Chain A
Amino acid sequence: MTTTNAPTVAPRVIKKKRRSFPKWAVTTGWKHLIGLGLIVYAIFPILYIISVSVTPGTRVDDANNLFANGFSIDAYVNLFNDPDRPFARWFANSVIVGLTTALLSVFICSLAAYAFSRLRFRGRRGGLMTLILIQMYPSLLGLVAIYGILENVGRVFPPLGLDSLLGLIMVYLGGSLGGGTYLMYGFFNTVPKEIDEAAALDGASHARIFFTIILRLVSPILAVQMLLSFIGIISDYVLPSILMTHAENLTFAVGLQQFIADPYTKDWTTFCAGAVLVAAPVVALFMYLQRYIVSGLMGGAVKG
Chain B
Amino acid sequence: MRNDGEKSTTLVKRKKRSSNSLYDSTTTSTKGWVTKIILLGIVDAVAVFASFMLFMQEQWLPLIIEIAVVALVNWIYIKRGSLPAKYLAPGLAFLVAFQISVLVFSFFTAFTNYSTAHNGDIKWSTGAILQTNFATTDDAASYKVSWLKDSKGRPAELLSLQELKTDVNGEPILDPDTGEALFSYTDIKLGVQGEFVQAVDRAIVTWEKPGPDCLTVGSDCGYAVAIPGYDALDVNALSKAKTNALYELKFWEDKSRTGFINLAGGLDTAVASTQIYRFANPGGDYSKPSLTKIADPTLVFKPSKDGYYRQDGKIDGERASETGWQVFVGGQNFGVIFGDQKLREPLLKIISWTIIFAVLSVLTTFIVGLAIALLFDDARLRGKKIYRSIMILPYAFPGFLSAYVWKGLFNQKYGFINTVILGQPNGAINMDASLNNVPWLVDGTVAKIAVLLVNLWLGFPYMFLITTGALQAIPAELTESATIDGATPSQILRLIKMPLLLVSLAPLLISSFAFNFNNFSIIYLLTGGGPTNTATGYDAGETDILITFVYKIAFSTGTGRNYGLASAFSILIFLVVGSMSLISFRRTKFLEDIN
Within 8 A of B (CB), among A102-139: 108-109, 111-112, 114-115, 118-121, 124-125, 127-129, 131-139
Is A287 in contact with B389, judged by CB distance below 8 angstroms?
yes
Q: Is A302 an interface residue (CB 8 A)?
A: yes
Instruction: State the main secondary structure of chain A at its contact with B.
Output: helix
Is A177 in contact with B95, judged by CB distance below 8 angstroms?
yes
A181-B23 contact given A42-B391, A156-B53, A286-B392, CB 8 Å threshold: no
Q: Using CB atoms, name the residue of chain A closest to B576.
A: A136
Return chain B residues, CB-CB under 8 Å to A155: 57
Is A141 in contact with B550, judged by CB distance below 8 angstroms?
yes
B-contacting 9-mer, from A74-82, A84-92, A196-204, A218-226: A196-204
A149-168 interface bits toward B, Cβ cutoff 8 Å, 1 = contact, 0 = none: 10000011100000000000
Is B469 in contact with A174, judged by CB distance below 8 angstroms?
no
Q: Is B430 an interface residue (CB 8 A)?
A: no
Contact partner of B563 (CB less than 8 A), chosen from A32, A144, A156, A253, is A144
Return chain A residues, CB-CB under 8 Å to B416: 48, 61, 64
Return chain A residues, CB-CB under 8 Å to B98: 146, 149, 170-171, 173-175
B1-12 interface bits toward A, Cβ cutoff 8 Å, 1 = contact, 0 = none: 110000100010
Is A141 in contact with B551, judged by CB distance below 8 angstroms?
yes
Q: Is A39 an interface residue (CB 8 A)?
A: yes
Return chain B residues, CB-CB under 8 Å to A265: none
Closest-CB distance, A252 to chain B (whole angstroms) = 9
B39-51 interface bits toward A, Cβ cutoff 8 Å, 1 = contact, 0 = none: 0000000000110
Closest-CB distance, B193 to chain A (whole angstroms) = 22
Q: Is A25 an interface residue (CB 8 A)?
A: no
Q: Is B466 an interface residue (CB 8 A)?
A: yes
Q: Is A238 an interface residue (CB 8 A)?
A: yes
A124 to B594, CA, bound (A): 9
A250 to B385, CA, bound (A): 38
A73 to B569, CA, bound (A): 48
Return chain B residues, CB-CB under 8 Å to A139: 99, 102
Is B87 in contact with A204, judged by CB distance below 8 angstroms?
no
Q: Using CB atoms, name the residue of chain A closest to B580.
A: A136
A170-B94 contact given A207-B28, A238-B521, CB 8 Å threshold: yes
A46 to B461, CA, bound (A): 15
Is B383 in contact with A2, judged by CB distance below 8 angstroms?
yes
Contact partner of B32 (CB less than 8 A), chosen from A136, A207, A256, A275, is A207
Return chain A residues, CB-CB under 8 Å to B24: 206
> Which range contains the number of B residues in contact with the other chain?
35 or more
Closest-CB distance, A239 to chain B (whole angstroms) = 11
Q: Is A45 an interface residue (CB 8 A)?
A: yes
Is A132 in contact with B470, judged by CB distance below 8 angstroms?
no
Is A118 in contact with B23, judged by CB distance below 8 angstroms?
yes
A139 to B518, CA, bound (A): 10
Q: Is B543 an interface residue (CB 8 A)?
A: no
Return chain B residues, CB-CB under 8 Å to A209: 23
A107 to B336, CA, bound (A): 44
Contact partner of B570 (CB less than 8 A), chosen from A61, A141, A189, is A141
Return chain A residues, CB-CB under 8 Å to B387: 35, 38-39
Within 8 A of A (CB), among B446-486: 457, 461-462, 465-466, 468-470, 473
Is B99 in contact with A137, judged by CB distance below 8 angstroms?
yes
A295-B469 contact given A275-B401, A301-B504, CB 8 Å threshold: yes
Q: Is B88 an interface residue (CB 8 A)?
A: yes
A171 to B98, CA, bound (A): 6
Within 8 A of A (CB), among B105-136: 105-106, 109, 114
Within 8 A of B (CB), among A187-217: 189, 196-197, 200-201, 203-210
Q: Is B491 an interface residue (CB 8 A)?
A: no
Is B393 in contact with A201, judged by CB distance below 8 angstroms?
no
Is A119 in contact with B398, judged by CB distance below 8 angstroms?
no
Is A268 in contact with B53, judged by CB distance below 8 angstroms?
no
Return chain B residues, CB-CB under 8 Å to A238: 520-521, 524, 551
Q: Using CB atoms, name the residue of chain B closest to A285.
A: B396
B388-402 interface bits toward A, Cβ cutoff 8 Å, 1 = contact, 0 = none: 111111111111111
Is B391 in contact with A3, judged by CB distance below 8 angstroms?
no
Contact partner of B508 (CB less than 8 A), chosen from A35, A174, A301, is A301
Is A2 in contact with B87, judged by CB distance below 8 angstroms?
no
A269-294 interface bits toward B, Cβ cutoff 8 Å, 1 = contact, 0 = none: 00110010011001100110010011
Contact partner of A200 (CB less than 8 A), chosen from B23, B28, B426, B511, is B23
Contact partner of B84 (CB less than 8 A), chosen from A115, A237, A294, is A115
A28 to B384, CA, bound (A): 11
A-B CB proximity, top 3 nearest: A174-B98, A61-B414, A141-B570
Contact residues of A with B, CB < 8 Å?
Answer: 1-3, 5, 27-28, 31-32, 34-35, 38-39, 41-43, 45-46, 48-49, 59-61, 64-66, 108-109, 111-112, 114-115, 118-121, 124-125, 127-129, 131-146, 148-149, 155-157, 170-171, 173-175, 177-178, 181, 189, 196-197, 200-201, 203-210, 231, 234-238, 242, 253, 256-257, 260, 268, 271-272, 275, 278-279, 282-283, 286-287, 290, 293-295, 297-298, 300-302, 304
Instruction: List 14 additional contacts besides A145-B109, A171-B98; criterion CB under 8 Å.
Output: A28-B382, A35-B376, A108-B90, A135-B99, A136-B577, A138-B577, A139-B99, A144-B109, A275-B404, A282-B397, A294-B468, A297-B466, A298-B473, A302-B473
Contact residues of B with A, CB < 8 Å?
Answer: 1-2, 7, 11, 18-20, 22-25, 27-29, 32, 49-50, 53-54, 57, 59, 62, 83-84, 87-88, 90-92, 94-95, 97-103, 105-106, 109, 114, 372, 375-376, 378, 380-383, 386-402, 404-406, 408-409, 411, 413-416, 419-420, 426-427, 457, 461-462, 465-466, 468-470, 473, 504-505, 507-508, 511, 514, 518, 520-521, 524-525, 547, 550-551, 554-555, 563, 566-567, 569-570, 573-574, 577-578, 581-582, 585, 593-595
